[in-house]
Amino acid sequence: MEQGQKAILAKFGVDISAFALGKSFSMPQRYFLRDLAMTIESRFSHPTIVNIGVLLGCSMAWLRAGSPESTLIGIDIDLRRRCPGPALLKYLRATLLEMDSREACRSFEGVPHLVFVDGDHSYRAAGADMECWSSRLPVGGIIALHDLHMGQVMKAFGEWYNSEVWQEVGGSPCLGFRAFERIE
């Protein structure tokens, strides 16, 4: 773990020895998630951030670092194997839902302001995640997509994306990580 990462998590009183942050995100991707959350917190009062695909909680930790006051919701089909450790859960102050993300979207009663999609990477599931969750975002809301370099996810993205509704706000296309703001 890099010194900058340790410092950020230590600032929030997180015992970094108590959980693994995994290697699925590069440091630029982690900082980008944090910056997206900061943007959302500056735009909306009491924003809601949804993280699809919790794994060990790395993405949720960086989303929380960028938006300390948001409502943070993590969705994963199998939290028994993938749940963040107790120290991270305390830091996250998040609601974790063990369910299919499309089911969660259909039953979601609030308005998400930032949705990070890193769930099932099949064509059908990735497309359904993009379609369902993006339709819930208000103007100014952001959807961030991970693993766009994967064939099935890229295919689903190509069918979902509409430049009249979405404007790219950054990311790292070579690493398959991009974010889009709703403009209409």
Closest CA to 133 of 147, 150, 145: 145
In this predicted structure, the answer to whether residue 153 has a pLDDT above a threshold of 70 is yes
Per-residue pLDDT tens digits for 100-139 = 999 999 999 999 999 999 999 999 999 999 999 999 999 9
CA distance 45 to 77: 29
Between 54 and 144, where is the model more confident?
144
- pLDDT score for 52: 96
All domains in the chain, ordered by first residue: 3-182 (3.40.50.150)
The model carries a pTM of 0.87
Q: What is residue 9's predicted lDDT score, i.e. its pLDDT?
A: 55
Task: Tell me the backbone φ, ψ of residue 113, rounded to 5 degrees.
Answer: -105, -25
Q: Read off the pLDDT of each residue in 67-79 and give the average, rounded to a whole number.
A: 93
Q: Higher pLDDT residue, 84 or 91?
A: 91
Instruction: Please name the helix (run of DSSP H) or strand (run of DSSP E) that holds residue 142, with its range, or none.
Output: strand 142-145
Name the burial class of residue 130, with classes exposed (0-12), middle (13-18) and buried (19+) by CB atoms within 10 angstroms of its CB.
buried
The confidence band for 6, taking pLDDT boundaries of 50, 70 and 90, is low
The confidence score (pLDDT) of residue 149 equals 87
Q: Sorting pLDDT into bands at 50, 70 and 90, what band is 18?
A: very low
The encoded tokens of residue 54 equal 């919790």
What is the rounded average pLDDT for all residues in the chain?
86
pLDDT(85) > 90: no
